[in-house]
Amino acid sequence: MTQEVTTTEAVNVEMTAPEKKLSKKDVVKAFWRWTFFSHANYNYERLQSTGVIFAFSPVLKKLYGDNPEKMKASLDTHMQFFNTEPSFGGPILSMAIAMEEQKANGAPITDSTINGLKTGLMGPLAGIGDTLWQGTLIPILLSFTLAFGAEGNILMGPVAFFVLHLGIMTAIGYFLWMRGYESGKEGIQKLLSGSLLPYVMSFAQTLGAIVIGSLAAMFVSVGTPLSFTLGEGATLSMQTDVLDALVLGLLPLGFTLGTFVLLKKKFKPTTVLAILIIAGGLLSAVGILSAG
């Protein structure tokens, strides 16, 4: 009888325990920690998981600080392998924070459920992030800051690129992080299953390719000084009379596509650069190529 009363009292105490609620300040603090330290201890065993732990530590202490066993279990959960694009993949972690908050208040959410969410979404959102960031945003910013940098304008060149890139990516990352926490896993699942996302991705990929093509046309300067005498003083220039007549900028396009093929064949960027330098030097030395 005494045992039953004790058990009942323990249950009542647990049921009447105050709700554990994270403040916006807690969520924002986790965002800044993740943004600046996601790759601080990047390693090939766990990749970004130590960055996750650093971002989550204040949150987990607030939720499980009074229960060391639950705290250890949660830390172990988030030490599992994790890797995604930090800004666009951030909502995965803010959703995990929301789930940890619900779990701390008694919701039937297991550690494997949280890890399953992280594992299932880190790949798709990394693909979206890399496409929109590296394949679209960076080429667009470079398209107008490179020209200033080439002229020696430090402010409108590298400084402008750094400020714009940091500002845009931070704003996007913050917005998505807060949306992930507010909407939970259902919000991301709706995004991934919706009809709008394929159009956005297709538009971004197309725009990125156009911008990269324009950058190649502007900054890849390759030509040929070869010419042939046809008799009676007539001269045929390979550059102006043949190549430019076929496709304007054919040699720069050829070098750009050749570089792309080598990278697709898994050549290291440093190896590709060495090939271009050696080939360009040799062809220039024998009079086949010139600097445009």
- Tens place of pLDDT per residue across the chain (292 aa): 444 444 444 444 444 567 788 889 999 999 999 999 988 888 888 889 999 999 999 999 999 888 888 888 888 889 888 989 999 889 889 989 988 888 888 878 888 888 888 888 888 888 888 878 887 888 888 888 888 888 888 899 899 999 999 999 999 999 999 988 887 655 555 555 555 556 555 655 665 566 667 667 777 788 888 887 776 667 778 878 788 778 777 888 888 888 888 888 888 889 988 998 898 888 888 888 887 6
State how many domains the chain has: 3
Quote the domain boundaries for residue 233. Answer: 227-285
**Rounded distance, CA 104 to CA 122, Å?**
24
Same domain, 115 and 64: yes
**64, part of any domain:** yes
**292, part of any domain:** no
Give the bridge partners for 235, in sequence order.
229
Contact 50, 71 (CB under 8 A): no
Phi, psi of 228 (to 5 degrees): -130, 140
Residue 291 amino acid letter:
A
**10, part of any domain:** yes
Q: 200, 219, 238 — which closes off a domain? A: 219
Q: Two tokens at 21?
A: 């609620």
CA angle at 67 for the pair 76 and 89, rounded to the nearest 5°: 40
Burial class (CB in 10 A: 0-12, 13-18, 19+), 286: exposed
Number of Cβ within a 10 Å radius of residue 111 = 17
Same domain, 8 and 72: yes
148 Cβ contact list (under 8 Å, min separation 6): 155, 156, 157, 160
**53, part of any domain:** yes
Q: Two tokens at 261?
A: 């093929």
**Rounded distance, CA 241 to CA 227, Å?**
9
Same domain, 19 and 112: yes
**290, part of any domain:** no
